[in-house]
């Protein structure tokens, strides 16, 4: 065995699983139909991998919803509120989606990892991002009475299903994939119990041992056991847990391939090399810095698997370079050197072949999951001196062409970037001075009210956008439709009595796509979907080349909106870090460089908006936090350039132009300093769900600028009452000087309907009025 895979996308070439799942959830398809679809996808995936020449094929990389959730049901980690006599797949769906069948409990703004709404009796499990990917898993819940016991047997069924195929093809085998016990425990969270997590390890290992035993009995030789937390900076107790775990599992009859990915092993390198398992998989791309050390330290005689074909990005691999990098490993490990992608292919789109609209030159530089199988095959062949010389030469030529491509490299952008140091990253005056000038300019009341940008995206809006895209209406008609919408939201905001208006973003289908489509250097696929959570997929744009802005992107909409009202109209942009974070990015320059290119383009947009009379501009950085590197020791570096990109975007405006930023999450404790360094005049954040507790970070730090702590949760259809919001603002006002407080919802309102949005905003404005009165009286009597 030499060529293997760590996981293959399970959504299907055209998101078949998504559509069948959603039809099933709506009651339009039966469980039998859903199961048939799932079997079909698994079968096709096996065939694709067999045809590609993969010798050891993953099983249990399939999941209806999430592979961590599958581990929970396998291990019997089922929250009390969902337990029932006999396990069935409905239990798993409830764990993921809560009890109400029509609501997946995760209807949040961009599907980027919000906590769940715990007000429902049978609320869904919390979702978290799987390491630094855009995939979300359902957090396992450990309760006082959680007992590990094999509960869900689908793993064994799928293994049996796969092993049947082995009879037709004697040169292949199957390898079940499990989340390893230490990673599983690490990701799990205690719920209403104080039992130390690690004290549960022995019991957990017992069940893992039973699972391995049962797999071996089925005829399984190798099991891939994913322990990605080995790339984190672990405390000693977790490092010790690894020793304990793998000493115990070493008794098992199955051979274990321990898989790590997404980063170097760092200080865990020695530990990973010593664990008593049969082999190790190492990510040679994200872990490049330690690849040589791994090759040197991993014991000869064991299997070392190395991934040099990128499971996280969409570029063709440099096979010739990979061959060279693997020479030493080949000499040391011989047939025990295995080849795989760097990590599971779950994180890349399925099949490049089905794309018909990409620029052919660009397409030639790309590789999706299916094509990556061809790349590992070529690499493996080359290492066995069996490679087709022409394929290797072709690969060399493609990479050379890419390196010199005019499509990718833009001299003007390069020239501008070379002079980056000439642009000051600081605004003319500090906030304290700017604030005085801004008060004079905007003359806002205490507790000014505003919203985060988008308003409900009605059927009509979506339809108009779709019809314009399909050429059914012309540009003029489209613009008229959007302007009518803008007029409508202006009238509504007027009626409601909001102080600072937004235009509502009707023209945006997505906060990244809208800008990406107007920037040079960005491409969009037709079917490049990647699973985000459950049936939800995202289609990240591809930043393939130097980024520049041929024309203003938002100025017409914002100025039109401003022309409809005397109130202040806030301009609305997506920040560079978020643009970067939610895209596939170049692999031939640093993320920092790409981010700066985007920031320069946005800087031009900011200055154009200002010149056109828009003096309040919000730049959303929804993804700033999720860009944090996996290793804490890398955080400062990242935050430094991320913050600077924001400053580069904003530093050119006049002192009385007010810069806002918005971040839709709530954990600020460990990044508050960086957030302050962004020096936005106003920041709006998510705080309502925690009852303003999350403001603590800002209070403790004495955050110096203005804040709009979200006063209602837009993820819930409930209409917040005036009293609830008064209460929240009062809490905030206890700790933040009232002159610096804004009143706004948690996030954009595009996923809501007007039915709940309008009364909610009416209440919000009323709450602000009450507060204003209270505080004005206080100020007068003082």
Match 């803008």 to its residue by tokens: 486
Cβ distance to Zn ion smaller for residue 751 or 774: 751
- Nearest distance, CB of residue 554 and ligand GLN, angstroms: 11
Distance CA 540, CA 580 (A): 10
Taking alpha carbons only, the member of 104, 85, 107 closest to residue 94 is: 104
Cβ distance to ligand GLN smaller for residue 109 or 350: 109
Distance CA 684, CA 706 (A): 9
**Candidate residues 572, 601, 694, 707; the one interacting with ligand GLN per rule CB under 6 A:** 572
Residue 212 contact among ligand GLN, Zn ion, none, beta carbon within 5 to 8 Å by kind: none
Q: Is 727 annotated among the ligand-binding residues? A: no
Residue 454 contact among Zn ion, ligand GLN, none, beta carbon within 5 to 8 Å by kind: ligand GLN
Cβ distance to ligand GLN smaller for residue 74 or 664: 664
Q: Is 537 annotated among the ligand-binding residues? A: yes
Considering only the C-alpha atoms of the chain, give the largest distance between any 2 of them, rounded to a whole number of Å.
Answer: 89
Number of neighbours of residue 708 by Cβ within 10 angstroms: 27
Beta pairing partners, 259: 226, 281
- Nearest distance, CB of residue 617 and ligand GLN, angstroms: 12
What are the residue ranges of helices labelled H in 225-318? 236-249, 269-274, 288-297
Q: Is 620 annotated among the ligand-binding residues? A: yes
- Nearest distance, CB of residue 505 and ligand GLN, angstroms: 6
- Nearest distance, CB of residue 5 and Zn ion, angstroms: 36
Residues in 215-244 that interact with ligand GLN by CB under 6 A: none
Q: How far is CA 406 from the centre of its chain?
A: 31
- Nearest distance, CB of residue 283 and Zn ion, angstroms: 32
Distance CA 495, CA 247 (A): 69
Q: Is 503 annotated among the ligand-binding residues? A: no
Q: What order of strands is seen across the sheet that includes strand 222-226?
A: 56-59, 173-179, 222-226, 255-259, 279-283, 303-309, 337-341
Residues in 657-716 that interact with ligand GLN by CB under 6 A: 662, 664
**Candidate residues 20, 49, 72, 454; the one interacting with ligand GLN per rule CB under 6 A:** 454
Cβ distance to ligand GLN smaller for residue 303 or 452: 452
Residues in 574-633 that interact with ligand GLN by CB under 6 A: 620, 622
DSSP 757-776: HHHHHHHHHHHHHHHHHHHH
Residue 142 contact among Zn ion, ligand GLN, none, beta carbon within 5 to 8 Å by kind: none
Q: Is 423 annotated among the ligand-binding residues? A: no
Distance CA 199, CA 193 (A): 13
- Nearest distance, CB of residue 109 and Zn ion, angstroms: 5
**Candidate residues 138, 747, 749, 764; the one interacting with Zn ion per rule CB under 5 A:** 747
Distance CA 514, CA 507 (A): 8
Residues in 66-95 that interact with ligand GLN by CB under 6 A: none
Cβ atoms 25, 103 nearer than 8 A? no
Instruction: Exactly one of 4, 112, 114, 715 is catalytic; name it.
Output: 715
Q: Is 129 annotated among the ligand-binding residues? A: yes
Cβ distance to Zn ion smaller for residue 107 or 652: 107
Distance CA 413, CA 223 (A): 49
For residue 143, the 8-state DSSP code is -
Cβ distance to ligand GLN smaller for residue 527 or 560: 560
Match 């099949």 to its residue by tokens: 351
- Nearest distance, CB of residue 620 and ligand GLN, angstroms: 5
Residues in 460-489 that interact with ligand GLN by CB under 6 A: none
Instruction: Please calculate the CA angle 119-745-736 and round it to the nearest 5 degrees.
Output: 100
Helix orientation angle between 31-52 and 16-25, rounded to the nearest 10 degrees: 170
Q: Is 664 annotated among the ligand-binding residues? A: yes
- Nearest distance, CB of residue 112 and ligand GLN, angstroms: 7
**Candidate residues 468, 748, 760, 769; the one interacting with ligand GLN per rule CB under 6 A:** 748
Cβ atoms 13, 351 nearer than 8 A? yes
Helix (H, G, I), strand (E, B) or coil at 663: strand
Q: Is 711 in the site for Zn ion (CB under 5 A)?
A: no
Q: Is 582 annotated among the ligand-binding residues? A: yes
Cβ distance to ligand GLN smaller for residue 281 or 750: 750
**Candidate residues 41, 110, 348, 676; the one interacting with ligand GLN per rule CB under 6 A:** 110
**Candidate residues 452, 519, 676, 726; the one interacting with ligand GLN per rule CB under 6 A:** 452
In order of 169, 547, 665, the CA distances from 610 in angstroms are 66, 22, 28
φ, ψ dihedrals at 544, nearest 5°: -100, -20
Beta strands in 35-172 (DSSP E): 56-59, 127-129, 136-138, 141-142
Q: Is 453 in the site for ligand GLN (CB under 6 A)?
A: yes
Cβ atoms 400, 394 nearer than 8 A? no
In order of 218, 480, 588, the CA distances from 400 in angstroms are 48, 47, 12
Match 């035993």 to its residue by tokens: 213
Helix (H, G, I), strand (E, B) or coil at 360: helix
Cβ distance to ligand GLN smaller for residue 142 or 569: 569
Cβ atoms 409, 597 nearer than 8 A? no
DSSP 70-87: HHHHHHT---GGG--SS-
**Candidate residues 408, 511, 585, 728; the one interacting with ligand GLN per rule CB under 6 A:** 511
Residue 110 contact among ligand GLN, Zn ion, none, beta carbon within 5 to 8 Å by kind: ligand GLN
Cβ distance to ligand GLN smaller for residue 434 or 508: 508
Instruction: Confirm whether 281 is a catalytic residue.
Output: no
Tokens at 627, concatenated: 């860009």
- Nearest distance, CB of residue 616 and ligand GLN, angstroms: 13
Site string for Zn ion, 245-284 (x = CB under 5 A): ----------------------------------------
Q: Is 16 annotated among the ligand-binding residues? A: yes
Distance CA 504, CA 583 (A): 24
- Nearest distance, CB of residue 625 and ligand GLN, angstroms: 12
Q: Is 758 annotated among the ligand-binding residues? A: no
φ, ψ dihedrals at 258, nearest 5°: -80, 120
Provide the terminal-to-terminal Cα distance of the chain, rounded to the nearest Å.
81
Distance CA 625, CA 476 (A): 39
**Candidate residues 109, 272, 285, 630; the one interacting with ligand GLN per rule CB under 6 A:** 109
Number of neighbours of residue 364 by Cβ within 10 angstroms: 17
Instruction: Please calculate the CA angle 476-477-478 and round it to the nearest 5 degrees.
Output: 90
- Nearest distance, CB of residue 748 and ligand GLN, angstroms: 2
Q: Is 747 in the site for ligand GLN (CB under 6 A)?
A: yes
Q: Is 760 in the site for ligand GLN (CB under 6 A)?
A: no
Which residue has the CB atom at the shortest distance from ligand GLN?
A: 748
**Candidate residues 124, 461, 555, 664; the one interacting with Zn ion per rule CB under 5 A:** 664
Cβ distance to ligand GLN smaller for residue 173 or 505: 505
Q: How many chain residues interact with ligand GLN (CB under 6 A)? A: 15
Q: Please identify, among the stretches 296-304, 350-358, 451-459, 525-533, the one whose residues bind ligand GLN according to the rule CB under 6 A.
A: 451-459
Compute, in degrees rounded to 10, the torsion defined by CA atoms 504, 506, 512, 516.
-130
Q: Is 536 annotated among the ligand-binding residues? A: yes
Cβ atoms 545, 406 nearer than 8 A? no
Which residue has the CB atom at the shortest distance from Zn ion?
A: 664
Residue 232 contact among ligand GLN, Zn ion, none, beta carbon within 5 to 8 Å by kind: none
Q: Is 510 annotated among the ligand-binding residues? A: no
Binding site for Zn ion (CB under 5 A): 664, 747
Q: Which residues are annotated as a binding site for Zn(2+)?
A: 662, 664, 686, 747
Q: Which residues are annotated as a binding site for L-methionine?
A: 452-454, 505, 620
Binding-site residues sit at 15-18, 129, 134, 452-454, 505, 536-537, 582, 620, 626, 662, 664, 686, 747
Which residues are identified as catalytic?
715
Residues of this chain that interact with ligand GLN (CB under 6 A) are: 109-110, 452-454, 505, 511, 572, 620, 622, 662, 664, 747-748, 750
């Amino acid at each position: 065995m030499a060529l293997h895979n760590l996981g293959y996308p399970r959504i299907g070439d055209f998101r078949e699983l998504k559509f069948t799942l959603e039809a099933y959830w709506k009651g339009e398809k039966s469980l039998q139909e859903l199961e048939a679809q799932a079997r079909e996808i698994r079968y096709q995936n096996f065939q694709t991998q067999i045809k590609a020449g993969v010798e050891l094929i993953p099983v249990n990389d399939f999941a209806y919803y999430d592979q961590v959730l599958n581990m929970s049901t396998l291990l019997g980690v089922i929250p009390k509120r969902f337990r029932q006599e006999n396990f069935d797949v409905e239990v798993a769906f409830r764990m993921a989606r809560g009890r109400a069948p029509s609501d997946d409990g995760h209807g949040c703004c961009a599907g980027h990892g919000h906590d769940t709404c715990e007000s429902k009796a049978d609320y869904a499990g919390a979702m978290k991002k799987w390491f630094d990917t855009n995939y979300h898993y359902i957090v396992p819940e450990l309760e006082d009475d959680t007992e590990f016991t094999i509960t869900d047997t689908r793993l064994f069924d799928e293994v049996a299903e796969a092993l049947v195929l082995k009879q037709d093809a004697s040169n292949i085998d199957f390898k079940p994939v499990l989340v390893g016990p230490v990673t599983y425990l690490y990701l799990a969270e205690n719920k209403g119990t104080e039992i130390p997590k690690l004290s549960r390890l022995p019991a957990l290992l017992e069940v893992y041992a039973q699972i391995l035993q049962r797999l071996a009995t089925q005829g399984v030789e190798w099991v891939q056991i994913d322990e990605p937390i080995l790339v984190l900076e672990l405390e000693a107790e977790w490092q010790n847990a690894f020793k304990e775990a793998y000493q115990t599992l070493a008794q098992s009859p199955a051979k274990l391939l321990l898989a790590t990915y997404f980063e170097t092993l760092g200080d865990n390198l020695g530990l990973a090399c010593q664990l008593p398992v049969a082999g190790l998989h190492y990510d040679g791309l994200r872990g490049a810095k330690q690849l040589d050390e791994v090759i040197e330290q991993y014991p000869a005689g064991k299997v070392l698997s190395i991934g040099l074909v990128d499971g996280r990005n969409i570029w063709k691999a440099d096979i010739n370079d990979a061959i060279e990098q693997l020479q030493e490993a080949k000499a040391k490990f011989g047939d025990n050197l295995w080849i795989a992608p760097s990590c599971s292919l779950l994180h890349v789109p399925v099949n490049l072949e089905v794309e018909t609209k990409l620029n052919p030159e660009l397409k030639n530089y790309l590789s999706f999951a299916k094509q990556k199988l061809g790349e590992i095959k070529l690499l493996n062949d080359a290492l066995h001196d069996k490679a087709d010389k022409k394929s290797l030469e072709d690969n060399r030529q493609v990479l050379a062409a890419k390196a010199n491509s005019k499509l990718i490299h833009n001299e003007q952008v390069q020239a501008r970037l070379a002079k980056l140091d000439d642009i000051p990253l600081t605004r003319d005056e500090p906030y304290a001075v700017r604030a005085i000038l801004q008060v004079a300019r905007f003359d806002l009341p205490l507790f000014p009210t505003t919203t985060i940008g988008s308003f409900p995206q009605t059927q009509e809006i979506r339809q108009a956008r779709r019809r314009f895209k399909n050429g059914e209406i012309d540009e003029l008609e489209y613009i008229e439709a959007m302007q009518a919408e803008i007029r409508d939201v202006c009238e509504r905001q007027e009626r409601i009595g909001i102080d600072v208006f937004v235009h509502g973003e009707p023209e945006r289908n997505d906060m990244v796509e809208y800008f990406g489509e107007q920037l040079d250097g960005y491409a969009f696929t037709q079917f490049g979907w990647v699973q985000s959570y459950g049936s939800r997929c995202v289609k990240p744009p591809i930043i393939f080349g130097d980024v520049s802005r041929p024309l203003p992107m938002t100025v017409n909409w914002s100025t039109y909106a401003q022309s409809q009202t005397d109130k202040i109209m806030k301009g609305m942009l997506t920040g560079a870090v978020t643009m970067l974070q939610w895209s596939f990015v170049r692999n031939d320059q640093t993320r920092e460089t790409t981010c700066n290119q985007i920031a320069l383009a946005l800087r031009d947009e900011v200055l154009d908006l200002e010149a056109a009379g828009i003096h309040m501009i919000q730049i959303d950085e929804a993804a700033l936090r999720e860009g944090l590197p996996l290793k804490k020791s890398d955080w400062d570096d990242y935050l430094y350039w991320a913050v600077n990109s924001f400053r580069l975007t904003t530093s050119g405006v006049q002192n009385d132009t007010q810069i806002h930023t918005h971040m839709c999450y709530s954990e600020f404790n460990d990044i508050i300093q960086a957030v302050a360094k962004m020096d936005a005049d106003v920041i709006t954040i998510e705080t309502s769900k925690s009852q303003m507790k999350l403001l603590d970070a800002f209070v403790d730090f004495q955050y110096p600028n203005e804040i709009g702590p979200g006063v209602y949760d837009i993820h819930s259809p409930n209409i917040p009452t005036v009293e609830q919001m008064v209460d929240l603002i009062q809490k905030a006002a206890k700790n933040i000087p009232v002159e610096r407080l804004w009143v706004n919802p948690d996030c954009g309102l595009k996923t809501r309907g007007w039915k709940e949005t309008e009364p909610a905003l009416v209440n919000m404005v009323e709450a602000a009025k009450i507060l204003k009165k209270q505080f004005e009286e206080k100020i007068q009597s003082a």
